[in-house]
């Protein structure tokens, strides 16, 4: 009874490894390390006191996936592996379709050949596009606005089609809002390469002096202070949602063989509220300037969490203070991330 965790060396995947190991599950991580450092798995072992089996491989390598599924006698997959940078996806769409869509197709084909029929998939609130109403419920119309988002939507459709073809399949499509934070030990966390695209990693790099100031993208949105509002969720809460989804699917008690569920807190914070919260947590000034809106950004985005509460008996417990405190703890303990070199 082993769970294959693809992309398990990455940011969310490494936290998921901790959650599954601490819950007593056996896991094997498969990752091509294209955006990760295997040191994260040594840290996972340190946190949990358990050895982590690791396979250096690509999800597009179907024969290899089949041999891993058989060798470890896997019964389920948690699928994080994928490329995730929106801007990059507009520059290199084929790489995104290949890695994310073709990769997931090969992974599913390998699972079918090995009779492994349960998968939890990392989707994103980006599939909702421009919100027509808030909070976002799972039946809100979908419509991605960039290649990255379209790969997520295509994969969702593929999973729905496969689930409809045979009731033996069990899927949990989890739509993440904005994952932030780090494990409370400060041993694992987000380790972005280059200039961060997302707000929280950028703020941390201003706090620790690596960047001079934050550019706040837009202060003329129709929000309480004019800056963009998002539903930030602590990564530890997020991965506990995966554990619940895994358990509900494995128990056979799910209401459907393809669950599509939001993972968010239901509360939105503005960019300036995030800046102030991080200042309190770090005791550092976060310098910022207002800049033009970023193309493709929406004013406000937050989740309706009632389906997650009902179907998974899960809700996020950690607030903004914990998100900022744990991020800062990770950054202070690992100023160069997992790398020994300065960025
Ligand atoms: P990450 O880049 O830290 O983790 C992804 C992992 O997958 C990395 O370890 C990378 O090396 C690995 N990988 C990529 N392509 C692979 C391939 N072809 N074969 C094997 N391994 C491969 O990203 P993350 O933030 O941990 O995100 C995990 C998943 O969650 C992604 O699918 C992402 O799209 C999704 N997601 C993330 C966010 C977010 O804000 N972080 C939001 C919504 C959805
Ligand atoms: C981004 C992605 C989205 C993905 C989500 C979670 C884009 C266009 N969208 O969305 O597909 O699902 O992350 O990973 O990249 N901000 C600043 N200055 C910065 C960075 C961000 O003001 O330097 C603002 C943004 O305008 C936004 C908020 O901070 O209002 C959050 O931004 P970000 O962390 O990039 O997340 P999303 O915009 O939700």
CATH no. for residue 248?
Answer: 3.40.50.720
Using left for φ > 0, alpha for ψ between -120 and 50, and beta otherwise, residue 296 falls in left
Asked if the structure places residue 275 within a domain, the reply is no
Mode of pairing for the β-strands spanning 26-31 and 2-6: parallel
- State residue 1's pLDDT score: 84
Cβ–ligand 2 distance for 216 under 6 Å, the answer yes
- The answer to whether residue 88 sits within a structural domain is yes
Asked if residue 187 belongs to a domain, the reply is no
Q: Please report, for residues 93, 182, 188, the alpha-carbon distance to residue 236 in angstroms, rounded to integers and kept in the order given.
A: 31, 7, 11
Count of structural domains within the chain: 1
Q: Answer whether residue 213 is part of any domain.
A: no
Q: Which domain holds residue 89?
A: 2-181+233-263
What pLDDT score was predicted for residue 192?
A: 85
Provide the pLDDT for residue 62: 98
Q: Is residue 90 lining ligand 2, measured as CB closer than 6 Å?
A: no
259: in domain: yes
Kindly give the distance from the C-alpha atom of residue 197 to the centroid of ligand 2, in angstroms, as a whole number: 7
Q: Is the peptide bond before 277 cis (omega within 30 degrees of 0)?
A: no
Full-model pTM: 0.97
Q: Does residue 175 form part of some domain?
A: yes
CA of 199 to the centre of ligand 2 (A): 6
pLDDT mean by block of 10 residues, the chain; 343 residues? 97 98 98 97 98 97 98 98 95 98 98 98 97 98 95 98 98 98 98 90 95 98 98 98 97 94 98 98 97 94 98 98 98 88 39
Which atom of ligand 2 is nearest to 228's Cα?
30
CA of 222 from ligand 1 middle (Å) equals: 32
Cβ–Cβ contacts within 10 Å for residue 334, how many?
18
Q: Active site includes 148?
A: yes
Residue 124 in any domain: the answer is yes
Domain membership flag for residue 276:
no
**Strand-strand pairing, 26-31 and 53-56:** parallel
| Per-residue pLDDT at 340 | 57
Decide whether any atom of ligand 1 lies within 6 Å of the 103 Cβ: yes
């Amino acid at each position: 009874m082993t769970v294959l965790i693809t992309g398990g060396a990455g940011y969310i995947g490494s936290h998921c490894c901790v959650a599954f190991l601490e819950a007593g599950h056996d896991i094997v991580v498969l990752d091509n390390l294209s955006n990760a450092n295997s040191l994260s798995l040594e840290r996972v072992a340190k946190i949990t006191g358990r050895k982590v089996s690791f396979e250096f491989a690509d999800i597009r390598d179907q024969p290899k996936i089949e041999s891993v599924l058989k060798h470890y006698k896997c019964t389920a997959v948690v699928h994080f592996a994928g490329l995730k940078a929106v801007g990059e996806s507009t520059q290199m769409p084929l790489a995104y379709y290949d890695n994310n869509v073709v990769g997931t197709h090969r992974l599913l084909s390998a699972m079918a050949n090995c009779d492994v029929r349960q998968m939890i998939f990392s989707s994103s609130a980006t599939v909702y596009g421009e919100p027509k109403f808030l909070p976002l419920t799972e039946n809100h119309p979908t419509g991605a606005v960039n290649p990255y988002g379209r790969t997520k939507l295509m994969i969702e459709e593929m999973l729905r089609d496969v689930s409809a073809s045979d009731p033996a399949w069990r899927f949990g499509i989890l739509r993440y809002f904005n994952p932030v934070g780090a494990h409370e030990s400060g041993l694992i966390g987000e380790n972005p390469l280059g200039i961060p695209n997302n707000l929280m990693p950028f703020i941390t790099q201003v706090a620790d002096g690596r960047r001079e100031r934050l550019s706040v993208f837009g202060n003329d949105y129709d929000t309480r202070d004019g800056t963009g509002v998002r539903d930030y969720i602590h990564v530890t809460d997020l991965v506990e949602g995966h554990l619940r989804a895994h358990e509900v699917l494995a128990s056979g008690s799910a209401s459907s063989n393809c669950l599509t569920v939001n993972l968010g807190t239901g509360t939105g914070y503005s960019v300036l509220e995030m800046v102030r919260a991080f200042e309190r947590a770090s005791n550092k000034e976060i310098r910022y300037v207002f800049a033009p809106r970023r193309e493709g950004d929406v004013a406000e985005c937050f989740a309706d969490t009632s389906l997650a509460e009902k179907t998974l008996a899960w809700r996020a417990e950690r607030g903004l203070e914990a998100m900022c405190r744990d991020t800062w703890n990770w950054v202070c303990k690992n100023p160069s991330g997992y790398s020994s070199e300065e960025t």
